[in-house]
Structure formats: structure tokens, C-alpha cells
A and B are shown apart, each in its own frame.
Chain A
Amino acid sequence: MTIEVRQLRKNFGSFAALDGVDLKVADGELLALLGPSGSGKTTLLRIIAGLDWPDTGEVTFDGENALSRGAGERHVGFVFQHYALFRHMSVFENVAFGLRVQPRRVRKSDAAIRARVKELLDLVQLDWLADRYPSQLSGGQRQRIALARALAIEPRILLLDEPFGALDAKVRKELRQWLRSLHEQIRMTSIFVTHDQEEALEVANRVVVMDKGKIEQMGTPNDVYDNPASAFVHGFIGESIELAVDVADGEVRIGGEALPLAAQGHASGPSKLFVRRHDMQVAPAGAGALQGAVTRVRSFGPVQRAEVLLARAKVAIEIDAPRDQDLRPGDQVGLSPRRYRIFAA
């Protein structure tokens, strides 16, 4: 099932939650809506699900208008951030709910419902929890039951609102991989909302970055990470060093001094220079584009993180250097960015 969203707008009072959003989701895609809180991503998801209505704009499923149908008629599986399991029902009844409330003429027999629920609980590997109540489950288990419940109605689209938001780091990682392999298994058009870039880049086929009710960039995880389209995306995804610079006459200047860097075709004016931490290479003092003094060094995992106070700009930046590089507090070093991007400020 394909989803298409055209010129969607939604205001809450004077706050524009969605400010003209266009989006196409291909059949079988696993798409991530990524953005800070208040960027409109959850509103977009809820409008697609039919839990909210836009002020203007269109939503179509396979070319058919979806806005004329209520949430229950859209065949959308929705997984809520806090699971929203029915607290007074057992796990089994939770999963069976969508089947039991169907109109009598299409409702399955009790035996068929039992078989279907069993199948879904097997799919999420929690068949042994059928008689428990939601309050007796862990967060990760609740999340998987919520997913099984959403899948019970054989939805054509699966929507997940911050699916791992309320879980601790370890369970999160496990569920992420599990969700991706589940998607490979069922190949259903799926959209999930997250504010966690790592999650979006790791799980999704395609990432949509949103900010202030607008889509900033769409692309594969690689695309978005390597070629950020705006200062916001560069700053939001991946860890970046951000330096205020001036572009004048095709030169990039910091603190009045020209740097040996190309202006990337930007017009004159105040700009921002973005460099990934690991793209900042350490050179001997005097060499490189920037000069500075190491003030602090911390090591963890494969890298060491050094804080460098830039001599000219008088700001401290953090860079990631390989562990085997000899860096000590007090060292004078030169820095040259391997890759960088400049955006107008």
C-alpha cells in the first residue's frame, strides 16, 4: 500500500504543527519520521492514522482519499508510544480485541479468532504470556503485545509512535533489530516516529527529517547523514562541530582570518561551518586549517575525544581522534577538516 500526503497543514491554536507537508511512502517501505519534539512528526502520523484531522491538505492510500474515512475504516495498525494496552484485559483479549469488535457478518468464529491470536503471539514470541495482564509485563513485552494487537486486524499500513521511547537502552537495541527483521518478514508499509537519530538511521529504509512542521530532508540513512540538506539536519543528525564563520569574496573567515577552505559557492555573509567530529583531523601545530590547544582528553571505545580550544575563534570544540594518536592536555595542535559543509546562517 502506498501513502501520499499533499500540502498538509494543521494548527493547534496559533501553533503550526504541520506547515505544508508533502510526502510519498512506497509500498513495503519502512520509513522513519525523525525530528525534535514539537516538529510535527506525531501529528503527521496521527493524521495518517485518522486520529487527527488536518486543517487543509490531502491524504491518499493507493490513490484513494483516506480523509473521508474514520480511523476504524482505514485498516491502519497503530502502536502507541505508551502502548495503550487495555489494562483490564488479558494479553490474549488485548490481541483479540480488533477481531471481536468486527461487525457480526464479517466476524471470525471464536475458534478462528483463537487461532489468529495464537499465531500473532507466536510471531512476537510471547505466546506464554497470553493469560497475563498488561501491568504484569515488562516494557518491552508490552510493546510487542501492542504490535501484535495492531497486526491482528490485518492492517495495510503499520504506524508506530515513538515505539521504543519508553524503554531502557538495552531493550531498545534488541527491539530495534527485532522490528527490522519483523518488517522484512511481513513487508508491510510502515512508518515510525522517533526523536532518536540512531534509531531512525539504523532501522529505516528511508528517513524523513522534520523540524517546525516542515520536512527538512528525505533520503536513505546514508544520504541524510553524508549530505545534510540544511544546517538543521547537519546539527540534528550525527555529532557535529558547528563554527560561526564569515564568507566574503569566496573566502571563509573565522575571527577575521581567512581559512584555506572553499566557500562551496556560498554568497557572502555570516555562515555556519559544520564538521563531523571524526572528520576533524589532527595535524602538527602550525599545519592544518585551524590552530588550537588541547584542554582535555577522554578515551572510550575505539576513539578518544579531545576538547580543543581554538586559538583564533576562542571557542572550545570536541573532536574524535583514533586511540593511537598521542594527544595530551596542553598540546598545541593544528586541525584540518577532511569533509565539511557550509550553510548560510
Chain B
Amino acid sequence: MSMETSLPRTELTSPVGRGRIASSDAIRVRGDGGPAIDGSSSPQPSPDTGGNRAERAAIKNPRSEPHFVRIAIITIAIAFLSIFVVLPLILVFAQAFSKGINAYFAALSDPEALSAIRLTLLVAAISVSLNLVFGVIAAWAIAKFEFAGKTVLISLIDLPFSVSPVISGLVFVLLFGAQGFFGAFLASHGVQVLFAVPGIALATLFVTFPFVARALIPLMQEQGTQEEEAAISLGASGLQTFFRVTLPNIKWGLLYGVLLCNARAMGEFGAVSVVSGHVRGLTNTMPLLVEILYNEYQFVASFAVASLLAMLALITLIAKTLLERRLDERDVP
């Protein structure tokens, strides 16, 4: 019986995958997997664990740095983070509230600000939902099938990450601008892409494409196709298999990708700046409005909008931390 109970733990060690998730597995295995492996070959009495602990301490010793080195390193890290991350964040809020809470809310309820908020939410909703679909499809194709050109596809998915956002924006000007590739066709049909919502959504879509796919590929590769095959052989249709087996297995990874995708979609500046045309009250997203207001010396208004983006960042950060914990414990629902 002791053999049986030790089995699942030893098995946790075998399906070690790649990336961040795998590394946390490895940590867990080192934590309690060691004794479990011992136990399955020959049940060891408890005195041995005492010896193990002493041994572990002995192994750990040469690794530990002198006390002052540790303090120095920690101090530097904290000081750096305070100056470059925490302080700017505080300053954003300090500036936003510098003329009082009424001025803050007045700035946010300005029609231009409201329009920017609406546009940002709309563009984020469009690009996140489309990227959700494309990302799942791309990750599915890469993780579950073998085909020629797979490595090319993987590099292409990463392209938006490696290209400057300004270029990403310019690409769409070249495609949809008046002199662009589709320009004449669009003009003759009276469709306005550039300097309008479609252009902004397209640029955002392009820039944020990798997030969902990137979050899913390692997860889906690790999970393989066996559960899907099992579902199919049990009589499930393709859609049933996807919604009952695949989706529940990737839901936390998917949410993680969506979260990062959303943060970037709302915060994107460069690509959107190129295609937006900066029409006041119409094609300004929140990041664009922040810059415009700042350039017009409207510091309170500028930082009030900026504070919303900062809050989005904080919420994203907290949600991300919670999700990462979920992803690490994904074996126990």
C-alpha cells in the first residue's frame, strides 16, 4: 500500500515539460519527490530523514554568501526598484491629485477623456477577442500537429515582439493608406481604415498577437494530444472535445495570455499613434491623449488619464501573480 501511495508523486517527476511551468514542477519534485522515490524502491525508516536534512544543510552551506554581500545585493535591488518603478508610480498619482480630487474627476469626465476611454475599451475588446481566437488556433496548430514550416510559423508569431511598434503602424499605412496597397480599393468602396477605429484596432491586433499564442504553445505542447484522442475514442465530437477537454485544460494559460494581451492593447502607443491621425474626441486612445494633454501643459488632466493606465497595470500585475500561482498548481483543480 505504501508503494501505491508513493506512486503518483514519483510520477509527477516524469512529465516534465518546458518553460516556466516546468521549472516550478522541478522545484516541487526536489521538495518532496526525493523521499518518495526512496520509498518506492526500499521503504526507509524515519531516522533517515534526519540524516537527509543534515546532508541537505551541508550541501547548502558552500552556496550561501557572506552576510554583508547578501544585505548589499538586496539593498541594491530594492533601491533600484524603488527609484525606477515605485517612485514614478507614486508620482503619477501625486500629479493626478495635485489640484485635489475634484479636479481629478473633472479631468476624467471631460468629453475628450471619456471618448478616449471608450475608444481604448472598444479597441481592446476587438483586438483581445480576435487574438483569443487566432491565438488558440495558432497554438493548436503548432502544439498538436506536425507540418512543414512549423518553425517558420513559430518565428512569425514572435515577429510583432521583435519589430518596433512604429514600424507595425507604418505597415498598415502602407497597406491601407490612400497611396497604399488596398488604398484605391478601399476608397472606391468608401471604407475608412486609417485614422479611424478599424486602423487602430488592426494595429493593436498586430502588436498584441503573440501574447495568447505564446502563453498557450508550451502548455499545449506539454499536454500533448492523448486526452483529445481519448475523448474522440469515447465518441465525443470535435467541438465537444474542444469545449470539454482542451479548453478546460488550457483555461488558466488562456486567461494569462488574454490578461497580458489586454494590458498591451490598452497601453499601446507607437503603432496606434501612427495610424490614429490624432483626431480629437474621435481617434485618440488613452495613451495618445496622455501625451497630447501633457504637451498642452494640462498636467492634472494628463496624469489623471495616466493614473487609469497605471491602475490597469497594477490590476494586471495582481491578476498575473494569482494566475501564475494557478498555472503552477494546475494538477489540482
Chain A residues within 8 Å of B, Cβ to Cβ: 49-51, 70-73, 76-78, 80, 82, 84-89, 97-98, 101-102, 133, 135-142, 149-150, 152-153, 166-168, 170-171
Contact = CB atoms under 8 A, between A and B. Distances in A.
B230 A166 contact: no
A141 B6 CA distance: 12
Contact of A71 (B8, B40, B232, B331): B232
Which one of A49, A51, A78, A101 has the highest number of Cβ atoms from chain B below 10 Å of its Cβ?
Answer: A101
A232 to B, nearest CB: 30
Interface in B209-258: 226-227, 229-237, 240, 244-245, 248-249
A166 B226 CA distance: 15
A87 B11 CA distance: 14
20 contacts: A71-B232, A72-B232, A82-B226, A87-B249, A87-B331, A88-B333, A89-B248, A97-B236, A101-B234, A102-B235, A133-B331, A137-B8, A138-B4, A139-B11, A140-B4, A149-B234, A153-B234, A153-B235, A166-B11, A170-B3
B288 to A, nearest CB: 42
A152 B235 CA distance: 11
Given A72-B235, A168-B40, A78 B333 contact: no
Given A133-B333, A135-B332, A51 B7 contact: no
B244 A101 contact: yes
A168 B226 CA distance: 22
The size bracket of the interface on B is 20 to 34
Contacts, number: 102
Contact of A51 (B4, B232, B249): B232
Nearest to B241: A101
The CB with the most chain A CB atoms within 10 A, among B4, B237, B240, is that of B4
A135 B9 CA distance: 9
Contacts of B332: 133, 135-136
A171 B236 CA distance: 31
Given A140-B7, A170-B3, A87 B236 contact: no
B233 A97 contact: no
Given A86-B245, A87-B227, A166-B11, A72 B236 contact: yes
A78 B8 contact: no
A71 B11 contact: no
Given A73-B235, A80-B229, A170-B3, 15 more contacts: A78-B233, A80-B226, A86-B230, A86-B244, A98-B236, A133-B333, A135-B8, A135-B332, A138-B6, A139-B11, A140-B7, A149-B230, A150-B233, A152-B234, A167-B7
B237 A171 contact: no
A84 B229 contact: yes
Contact of B248 (A51, A71, A88, A135): A88
Nearest to B223: A87
A98 B232 CA distance: 9
B7 A78 contact: no
Interface of B: 3-8, 11-12, 14-15, 40, 226-227, 229-237, 240, 244-245, 248-249, 330-333
A2 B245 CA distance: 32
Contacts of B248: 86, 88-89
A98 B4 contact: no
Given A80-B229, A88-B248, A88-B333, A101 B237 contact: yes
A203 to B, nearest CB: 21
A50 B233 contact: yes
A171 B3 contact: yes
Contacts of B229: 51, 71, 78, 80, 84
A294 B98 CA distance: 97
Contacts of B12: 135
B3 A168 contact: yes
A84 B230 contact: yes
B7 A98 contact: no
B230 A80 contact: yes
Contacts of B11: 139, 166
A70 B234 CA distance: 11
Q: Return the 7 tightest CB-CB contacts between A and B, nearest first.
A: A98-B234, A84-B226, A138-B7, A135-B331, A101-B236, A84-B230, A138-B4
A153 B233 CA distance: 10
Q: Which of B11, B227, B234, B236 has the most CB of A within 10 A?
A: B234
A133 B245 CA distance: 14
A85 B5 CA distance: 18
Contacts of B244: 86, 97, 101
A86 B246 CA distance: 9
A129 to B, nearest CB: 12
Q: Which of B15, B40, B227, B235 has the most CB of A within 10 A?
A: B235
Contacts of B236: 72, 97-98, 101
B245 to A, nearest CB: 6
Contacts of A149: 230, 234
Contacts of B4: 138, 140-141, 171
Contacts of B231: 86, 97, 101
A237 to B, nearest CB: 28
A87 B247 CA distance: 12
Most chain A CB within a 10 A radius of its CB, from B12, B232, B332: B232
Contacts of A78: 229-230, 233
Count chain A CB atoms within 10 A of each CB in B12, B227, B237 and give the residue with the most. Answer: B227
Residue with the greatest number of chain B CB neighbours at <10 A, chosen from A86, A170, A171: A86
